Structure formats: structure tokens, C-alpha cells
């Protein structure tokens, strides 16, 4: 039977003649940090102090133990090397590698001695390739498009420039005889009520002998097949298999698949995975509105409630199974049912996809290409196809994976960012997105759809970012306009949009110790990576609120309010136009370090107000008030399986609490549908002091006709009481966008809700965890709300 021995201990990292203890898996930065050689790049402006690390060559070493007899072959297996490296054993070159996204296997049968992994600087490798293949344009000046490495290692508009190197995934020795399982492609389908698994198996052999057999088991079914040459196909049917569904649509039953390879009854190797039975498709048919983009799972058409996922740590080797699960549980807790793994990062570990399988989170997987023209010549072309084939097969078992996507914004960039003229006919990646990658997916994983890019209209017949065709990235609003303009169009699928805000206060205090915080203090400026990001934040804020001059706490609160308001403006509008619009994917769920960004969860894992707002926006039932045509409508968005009927109570009010008029309107929305009703004209608010309240069951929608800066809010008055695990606020006036910043009570404190608006006399109880000594004065000091414009 194949035996595997992890090579975890005994590694050293060579640094200026010294041998430092090294962690494997790991990276140079984390080893240097552990040894006290470099400061924490996440604290202060430490990022700048460690820039030299990415420019150096680095060497990892350990003894490779002698291999006991009893097996015919011994392989040295690296699951991931970052990125350009030579592997040597006692000075003999085993091989050279240049792709972070691949695994590698070397025959070391009968060998032992000093194992050396010598990493070149990623900059040196990238610049050498650029010198051979020529310059290619990109969104950033760093040379990330010239090697197969996590692009955001080189910095992004939310990420630090920390160019890593190291053995970032596990390494082991595998000892085996006769044959081993080299690859398994599980094609999982549903046919006439039965779950069907077809396992396409490839084996590696030390010698050609007859009698190799594969046996597969799943869900009580069992089947055998003989290995012919180096391949076999075994098919199993599971009658009555329960379907795997995305969260909110059904359960997530998972089935264990076990495959064994044996010779005349002797087990040689085994392969185990979990699968789920479901069908998935992508409806891209043209219609009266353009070209659709609707995910279909088990025949059910979905409005995708999505978030974009970036690497959760700038040093991905630090990610653990527990941390993946924590972050993805947060996503599910916000009502998310789709996570897009963005193309400037990595193919994530099995832990990520396992958690998505269990939580019912659909996965949209980008191939790792982002915001650049990528050369298509060697040595990159062969690496791209090899990594695609490996990772498509690796991730195939996961039922959560429903879409392969060729790239992020490169087709758009070619058309709109001045690339075409600069390239002058040079290759730029089109051959990957419209040739290599769809071919690999069709050959290896025909059970899932592929799309060439995001955004992408489906063909060059339409602009790549045409909102009427395919996927759309809505960035003009953040870059140049007011977020109210999200309501100006109804894209078919919004794959990226978002608004910035700083991280939680406690996160800033940890990351910037001793700094007097201000919007433009040195540490805050260092944590604004977006082009004119602070200018866009300020202009976006000024359209709605009076500027909080010199008051960091108010600025911090208002920018977080504005982020939640902006995202709400888009999602409420687009969800209310289902099925024309079939999904929103917020940029972004998470951060990889403490930074001002578009994230809903900051770099320390703390939830911004946007996170809690997503819980409302992505709930199965959403109530919203929208301007359509000449008046107001209420939209009841119902993504549940049951019809939603009832009475919608409307109240026209003043900010001083006076009720000017009321009406009851019948609410009716079918299952997975939207019900729209006209608001009576006499209830539409006029002037700065009026607003409209809509209540149905436990849901509420508000409509204010003017920006907050023009509304004469009363001075907020409220009472506060505390109890173990809760803070209760009773409003004596209108209290707009009340927020308990729980992390100001203590760095471990968390609140169970975000922004809430209370009418006079209303009360809210906010659950708080991690706060050991409840105190009413401390709670009041941590409460923020809108105040009259000064």
C-alpha cells in the first residue's frame, strides 16, 4: 500500500549566513517574522520596511531521510512551491519549477542526503520573462503578469506589496510499488432520479503487469473495473440519491466516495473524496432585455446573493481549516449563497471548498488572471494549461463549485483601458480565455459551465462590460458618481460593485499603535491603497453628509454608514428587478490585512456595519421602496419557497415624529418572485422634513426624498440600559442609523446587529458577546447615530 510521510520538521531558512528555523508549510516572511528579523508588516508602516524580502533569493534545507526497503519507488511530492525554484538533493538537480499554482513530484528512489529548495526572487523571474517576451500593459506597475504566482502578492488597491517565497503547501515522501493512482476525474450527474458517478482513473506503474483493478464505493453502491494500460473507468448509480442544494433551497447531503487500486486482491493505493449530487447550468439565452446570465441548480433558477473572495491573508500559508470555516460561516450568516474566488488570488485549499460544500455556498472559481495583459508564449503557455488541468481535476469533486471563469477584467481592459493600441498585435491572454481554458474545462469537467471572463458580454459582438449582456462590473459609481446612480440601470448580473470604508476601530488601534488617528494620519494614508481612494471617500461622503471636520470618530462612523447605504442602494434596486437581474456579487467579503477597503469583514475578522446590512439585503425576504416612473413603489422581494402575502402598512411621517397619513396596501409576492405595488400619491413624502415608513411582518423599509445633509433631523435622544450580553436603546426621538461599535467596549466584543433606525418610542435590544463588565455609560459612549447637520 502507498505510504506517505510528511516532511514538516527539520527545515531551515538560510539568511545572511545564518540558519533560521523554518516552518513548512510557510513562507519567508513568516519565518523571518518568527525569528525577529523583520517587523510585522501589518503593524504601522512595517510593509515598507520588509520590501527587500521579495528582491532576495532564499534557500530552504533539511535532511532527506533514508528510505526503508520494501517499496519499488519513492517520490518527493510538493503540493505548492512559491514560485520560481530549483530543487536539489546533495547538489544534484531534481528539477526547476516556476508556478505557485501547481504541485510537483520527483523520483528520489534510493536517494537520501541534503534536500535544498532554492528560490529565485519572483521579481527577477518576472523581469526575465518580460525581457524575453516584451512589455504588456496592466492596471498596476508591478510585473505580476509574467509569472504564475498570486498576483496580489505584488500589491492591489486593497492589498500590501509582500512578494512571498517558500514551500507554501505540504511536502511529503510517497513510497509505493507496482502502481499508484495518479489522477481521478469524478463526473457527477443526476439521471432519472439516480445519482451517477463516473470515475475516470489514471494510474502510474513501475512495470507493466496484468491484473490491476479499481473498486469504487459510494452510497451503498459498489462497482469494479479493470485497468487497461494506465486508465480505467468505473461507473456507479445511487438510486434515490438526495440532491445537494445551495443554502436556502434545501439540504447539503454529501456522499463519501472511496476508490481502491489493487492487484490480485492486494491493495496498492486509495483515493477518497466527498461529493454531492446536483445539476448545474447557466442560462445565457437572449431575451427582450439582452443576454441573460442566470445560474440554474437542480432546475431551479437562482438570484445569486454573492460576495467576492480575496485571499484571507497576505500570507496564504497561514490559513487554517478553522479560519476558512469561520470566515465562510460569516458569509453564510449574512445570507450569502455564492462566493466568487477572485482571479488575482489563488485556487484555494481543500478546506475552503469543503466548508462551502457543507454550508451550501456556491463557488464561482476564477482562473488566476486579473487586470493585466498576459503573454501567451512559452514559458507561460505550458504552465497555464498544466495548472488549469491539475486544478480543474482537483476541485471537481466539490458540489459547491458551479462555475469556471477565465479571468478578471482582462477582456474589458483590452477594449477600454488603452491596451489594444499599446499591444500592437502582441498576445495578451485572449487565447487563454477563449481557447485553452474552455477546452480544458470541456475535456476535463464537462459537468460545469465556463465563462470567458468577468465582466463579459458573451462575445465581441457587444461591449465586454455591457450591462444588458452577461456579467457587469459597476465601478463608475464608486469612481465618479453618487451611489444613487446604481438605480439608473438594471444589469443582467452584477459581478462586482462596492464602496469603501475603514476597518473597525479596534482593528485600527491594533494596527496603528500610538498613532493619533485622523483620516489623513500617516498610518491611515498608508492603509489607503486605492488610486485617489480618500478623495472618492470624501466626495461620496459630501454628497450625503456634512463633513465632520477634525472629528475622526464621526468620520469613521459616517464612512461606514455610507458604505452600507451605497451597497444597499444597489442590491435593493437590482433584487427588485429579478428575474431580469439574476445576481449581485459584492466587492468584497474579506480583507487580507488591516486596510481601508470595500470589505464587509475587516483584516482582523471584525464585521463592519456593511456585514450586518448584508444580512438584511440578502435575507430570503426583502422589503424596499423604490422610485419608478413618476412615483414610489414598494417591492416585496421573495426568494423563499413559499408565497409572501399580507398587509403592507405605510406611514407618511415627519422627522419630528408626526404621522401625516397612513394606508394599508395588499402585499403579494409569489415563491421566488417579486411583488410590486404602487404607493398612493398622497403618501409620497414632500419636502425635507418628511419620509415614508413601510412595515410588513418584521420587515421595514424607509424612504427619505433628500440626502441626509438636507434633512433637519432632531437632536437624537434615547435611553440606554444594559444587561449581561445585551444593550437596550429606547428612542425618545427619531434616531437614524444607530450603531453600537462594540469593539470600542473591548477588542473582543461583538454586536449582533449593525445600523438600525428607531421611530420615537421604539426600542431595540442589541446582543453583545465578549464584553465582560456591562456598563451603561460605556455603552452610551460606543453608540453613534446621525445628528443634525452643523
Q: Which residues are catalytic?
A: 409
Distant-in-sequence, close-in-space partners of 253: CB < 8 Å, separation ≥ 6: 241, 242, 243, 244, 276, 277
Cell digits for 287? 431575451
Cα dihedral across residues 24, 26, 30, 31: positive or negative: positive
Question: Contact 151/180 with Cβ under 8 angstroms?
Answer: no
State the Cα–Cα distance between residues 631 and 169, nearest whole angstrom: 58
State the Cα–Cα distance between residues 4 and 67, nearest whole angstrom: 12
Residue 419's φ and ψ, nearest 5 degrees, are -75, -40
Please count the other Cβ atoms lying within 10 Å of the Cβ belonging to residue 16: 7
Nearest partner of 668 among 685, 694, 695, 648, judged by Cα? 648
Distant-in-sequence, close-in-space partners of 440: CB < 8 Å, separation ≥ 6: 385, 388, 389, 392
Whole-number Cα distances in Å, 56 to 15, 39, 46, 163, 164: 10, 17, 18, 10, 10
Residue 568's φ and ψ, nearest 5 degrees, are -65, -40
Residue 262's φ and ψ, nearest 5 degrees, are -140, 165
Strands 255-263 and 212-218 come out as antiparallel
| Residue 229 burial (10 A CB sphere; 0-12, 13-18, 19+) | exposed
Whole-number Cα distances in Å, 251 to 166, 189, 359, 400, 482: 40, 17, 9, 12, 40
Whole-number Cα distances in Å, 692 to 45, 140, 181, 544, 571: 47, 46, 65, 18, 20
Question: Contact 677/665 with Cβ under 8 angstroms?
Answer: yes
Which residues lie across from 731 on neighbouring strands? 718
The distance of Cα 458 from the centroid of its chain, to the nearest Å, equals: 23
The span from the first CA to the last CA of the chain, in angstroms, equals 76
Cell digits for 325? 470555516
H/E stretch holding 767 reads strand 763-769
Question: Contact 336/614 with Cβ under 8 angstroms?
Answer: yes
Interior/surface letters 563-587, b for 16+ CB within 10 angstroms, e for the rest:
bbbbbbbbbbbbbbbbbbbbbbbbb
Peptide bond into 588 cis (omega under 30): yes
State the Cα–Cα distance between residues 213 and 267, nearest whole angstrom: 9
State the Cα–Cα distance between residues 284 and 781, nearest whole angstrom: 52
Distant-in-sequence, close-in-space partners of 644: CB < 8 Å, separation ≥ 6: 621, 636, 638, 667, 668, 669, 670, 675
Residue 630's φ and ψ, nearest 5 degrees, are -95, 5
Cell digits for 640? 423563499
Residue 242's φ and ψ, nearest 5 degrees, are -75, 140
Cell digits for 465? 462590460
State the Cα–Cα distance between residues 75 and 150, nearest whole angstrom: 27
State the Cα–Cα distance between residues 246 and 252, nearest whole angstrom: 7
CA dihedral 241, 242, 245, 251 (to 10 degrees): -150
Amino acid at each position: 500500500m502507498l505510504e506517505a510521510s510528511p516532511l514538516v520538521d527539520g527545515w531551515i531558512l538560510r539568511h545572511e549566513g545564518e540558519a533560521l528555523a523554518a516552518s513548512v508549510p510557510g513562507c519567508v516572511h513568516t519565518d523571518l517574522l518568527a525569528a525577529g528579523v523583520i517587523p510585522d508588516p501589518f503593524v504601522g508602516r512595517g510593509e515598507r520596511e520588509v520590501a527587500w524580502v521579495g528582491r532576495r533569493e532564499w534557500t530552504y534545507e533539511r535532511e532527506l531521510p533514508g528510505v526503508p526497503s520494501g517499496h519499488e519507488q519513492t517520490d518527493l511530492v510538493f503540493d505548492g512551491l512559491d514560485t520560481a525554484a530549483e530543487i536539489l538533493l546533495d547538489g544534484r538537480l531534481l528539477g526547476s519549477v516556476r508556478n505557485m499554482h501547481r504541485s510537483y513530484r520527483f523520483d528520489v528512489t534510493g536517494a537520501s542526503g541534503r534536500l535544498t529548495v532554492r528560490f529565485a526572487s519572483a521579481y527577477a523571474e518576472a523581469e526575465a520573462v518580460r525581457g524575453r517576451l516584451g512589455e504588456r500593459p496592466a492596471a498596476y506597475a508591478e510585473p505580476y503578469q509574467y509569472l504564475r504566482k498570486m498576483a496580489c502578492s505584488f500589491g492591489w488597491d486593497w492589498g500590501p506589496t509582500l512578494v512571498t517565497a517558500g514551500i507554501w503547501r505540504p511536502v511529503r515522501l510517497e513510497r509505493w510499488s507496482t502502481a499508484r493512482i495518479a489522477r481521478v476525474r469524478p463526473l457527477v450527474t443526476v439521471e432519472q432520479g439516480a445519482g451517477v458517478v463516473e470515475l475516470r482513473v489514471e494510474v502510474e506503474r513501475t512495470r507493466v503487469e496484468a491484473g490491476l483493478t479499481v473498486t469504487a464505493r459510494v452510497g451503498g453502491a459498489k462497482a469494479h473495473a479493470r485497468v487497461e494500460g494506465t486508465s480505467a473507468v468505473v461507473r456507479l448509480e445511487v438510486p434515490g440519491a438526495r440532491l445537494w442544494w445551495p443554502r436556502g433551497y434545501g439540504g447539503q447531503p454529501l456522499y463519501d466516495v472511496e476508490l481502491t487500486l489493487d492487484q490480485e486482491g492486494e491493495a496498492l493505493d486509495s483515493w477518497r473524496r466527498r461529493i454531492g449530487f446536483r445539476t448545474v447550468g447557466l442560462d445565457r439565452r437572449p431575451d427582450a432585455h439582452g443576454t441573460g446570465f442566470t445560474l440554474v441548480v437542480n432546475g431551479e433558477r437562482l438570484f445569486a446573493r454573492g460576495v467576492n473572495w480575496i485571499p484571507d491573508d497576505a500570507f496564504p500559508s497561514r490559513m487554517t481549516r478553522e479560519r476558512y470555516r469561520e470566515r465562510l460561516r460569516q458569509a453564510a450568516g449574512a445570507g450569502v449563497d455564492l462566493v466568487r474566488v477572485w482571479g488575482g488570488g489563488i485556487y484555494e485549499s481543500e478546506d475552503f471548498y469543503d466548508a462551502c460544500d457543507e454550508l451550501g455556498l456556491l463557488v464561482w472559481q476564477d482562473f488566476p488572471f486579473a487586470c493585466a495583459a498576459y503573454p501567451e508564449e512559452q514559458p507561460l503557455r505550458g504552465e497555464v494549461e498544466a495548472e488549469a488541468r491539475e486544478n480543474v481535476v482537483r476541485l471537481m469533486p466539490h458540489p459547491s463549485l458551479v462555475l469556471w471563469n477565465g479571468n478578471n477584467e482582462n477582456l474589458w481592459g483590452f477594449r477600454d483601458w488603452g491596451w489594444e493600441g499599446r499591444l500592437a498585435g502582441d498576445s495578451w491572454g485572449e487565447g487563454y480565455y477563449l481557447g485553452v481554458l474552455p477546452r480544458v474545462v470541456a475535456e476535463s469537467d464537462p459537468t460545469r459551465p465556463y465563462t470567458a471572463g468577468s465582466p463579459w458580454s458573451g462575445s465581441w459582438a457587444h461591449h465586454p462590460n455591457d450591462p444588458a449582456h452577461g456579467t457587469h462590473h459597476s465601478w463608475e459609481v464608486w469612481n465618479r458618481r453618487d451611489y444613487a446612480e446604481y438605480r439608473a440601470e438594471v444589469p443582467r448580473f452584477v459581478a462586482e460593485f462596492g464602496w469603501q470604508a475603514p476597518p473597525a476601530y479596534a482593528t485600527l488601534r491594533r494596527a496603528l499603535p500610538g498613532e493619533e488617528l485622523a483620516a489623513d494620519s500617516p498610518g491611515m494614508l498608508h492603509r489607503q491603497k486605492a488610486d485617489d481612494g480618500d478623495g472618492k471617500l470624501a466626495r461620496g461622503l459630501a454628497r450625503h453628509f456634512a463633513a465632520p471636520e477634525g472629528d475622526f470618530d464621526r468620520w469613521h462612523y459616517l464612512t461606514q454608514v455610507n458604505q452600507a447605504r451605497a451597497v444597499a442602494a444597489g442590491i435593493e434596486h437590482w433584487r427588485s428587478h429579478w428575474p431580469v437581474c439574476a445576481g449581485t456579487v459584492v466587492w468584497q467579503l474579506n480583507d487580507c490585512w488591516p486596510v481601508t477597503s470595500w470589505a464587509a469583514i475587516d483584516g482582523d475578522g471584525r464585521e463592519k456595519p456593511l456585514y450586518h446590512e448584508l444580512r438584511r439585503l440578502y435575507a430570503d425576504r426583502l422589503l424596499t421602496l423604490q422610485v419608478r416612473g413618476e412615483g414610489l413603489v414598494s417591492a416585496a422581494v421573495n426568494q423563499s419557497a413559499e408565497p409572501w402575502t399580507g398587509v403592507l402598512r405605510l406611514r407618511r411621517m415627519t422627522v419630528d415624529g408626526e404621522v401625516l397619513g397612513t394606508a394599508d396596501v395588499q402585499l403579494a409576492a409569489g415563491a421566488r418572485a417579486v411583488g410590486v405595488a404602487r404607493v398612493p400619491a398622497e403618501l409620497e413624502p414632500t419636502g425635507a422634513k418628511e419620509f415614508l415608513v413601510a412595515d410588513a411582518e418584521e420587515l421595514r423599509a424607509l424612504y427619505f426624498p433628500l440626502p441626509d445633509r438636507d434633512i433637519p433631523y432632531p437632536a437624537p435622544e434615547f435611553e440606554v440600559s444594559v444587561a449581561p450580553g445585551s444593550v437596550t436603546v429606547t428612542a425618545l426621538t427619531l434616531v437614524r442609523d444607530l450603531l453600537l461599535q462594540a469593539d470600542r467596549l473591548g477588542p473582543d466584543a461583538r454586536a449582533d446587529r449593525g445600523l438600525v433606525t428607531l421611530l420615537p418610542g421604539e426600542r431595540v435590544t442589541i446582543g453583545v458577546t465578549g464584553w465582560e463588565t456591562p456598563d451603561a455609560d460605556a455603552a452610551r459612549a460606543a453608540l453613534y447615530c446621525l445628528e443634525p447637520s452643523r
